[in-house]
């Protein structure tokens, strides 16, 4: 099982924050066991537009929480947060359910929903269908995660769509909207879409 931890914040300098996070995080977090780090800034997310998300992927939640606590306490991180006027907003922990294609790209689109009739087999089928639709539209790949510690958002399903073209993302959304197979899966899962966002990826490590 793999976990993806999201921390969102506002900052006066998203690009510099990304560089600082990846520089120090590459040493402290990847050194502690993180398999991927990323920083992105929302381009269209309603009230959340402009906020920054820093994410990390881990094979152990114990390791993740210990490492992230130590990271936050590091003097370099404290200095970077002060210099970039960082104001933390929230942190959520998700479990990675499925991946298809190559979940990397210059942009990432997120679709937020909730399944009232969860079914692991259907989730696998959902990954197959959505992955085919998105990559067929020119996107690079998808990652499906479920929030397991996220306050009122616990249980939320998040579909992350990675792409180098926002036009490809938009084409993928149009293809999804017209897919009877996807509509059937949503019905079987009791899936309701709660929102979408698009973000630019500042950097990864």
pLDDT digits (tens, 9 = 90+) for 62-110: 999 999 999 999 999 999 999 999 999 999 999 999 999 999 999 999 9
Instruction: Please check the confidence at residue 189 and state whether its pLDDT lies above 90.
Output: yes
User: Residue-wise over 178-190: b if at least 16 C-beta within 10 A, else e?
Assistant: ebeebeebbeebe
d(CA 94, CA 156): 9
Residue 143 pLDDT class (50, 70, 90 cuts): very high
Cβ distance 97 to 128 under 8 Å?
no
Write down the mean pLDDT value for the chain: 96
What percent of the chain is predicted at pLDDT more than 90?
96
Other CB atoms within 10 A of residue 106 CB: 13
The pTM score is 0.95
Burial of 113 (0-12, 13-18, 19+ CB in 10 A): middle
- What separation, in Å, do the N-terminal and C-terminal C-alpha atoms of the chain show? 20
């Amino acid at each position: 099982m793999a976990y993806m931890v999201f921390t969102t914040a506002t900052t006066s300098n998203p690009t510099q924050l990304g560089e600082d996070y990846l520089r120090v995080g590459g040493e402290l977090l990847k050194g502690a066991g993180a398999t991927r780090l990323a920083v992105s800034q929302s381009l269209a997310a309603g009230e959340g537009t402009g906020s920054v998300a820093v994410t990390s992927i881990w094979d152990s939640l114990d390791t993740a929480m210990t490492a992230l606590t130590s990271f936050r306490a590091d003097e370099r991180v404290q200095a970077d947060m002060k210099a970039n006027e960082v104001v933390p907003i929230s942190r959520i922990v998700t479990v990675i359910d499925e991946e298809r294609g190559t979940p990397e790209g210059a942009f990432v689109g997120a679709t937020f929903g909730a399944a009232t009739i969860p079914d692991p087999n259907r989730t696998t089928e959902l990954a197959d269908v959505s992955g085919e639709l998105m990559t067929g539209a020119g996107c690079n790949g998808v990652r499906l995660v479920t929030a397991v510690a996220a306050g009122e958002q616990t249980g939320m399903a998040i579909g992350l769509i990675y792409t180098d073209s926002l036009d490809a993302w938009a084409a993928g959304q149009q293809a999804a909207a017209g897919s009877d197979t996807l509509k059937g899966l949503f019905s079987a899962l009791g899936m309701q879409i709660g929102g979408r966002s698009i973000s630019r990826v500042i950097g990864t490590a």
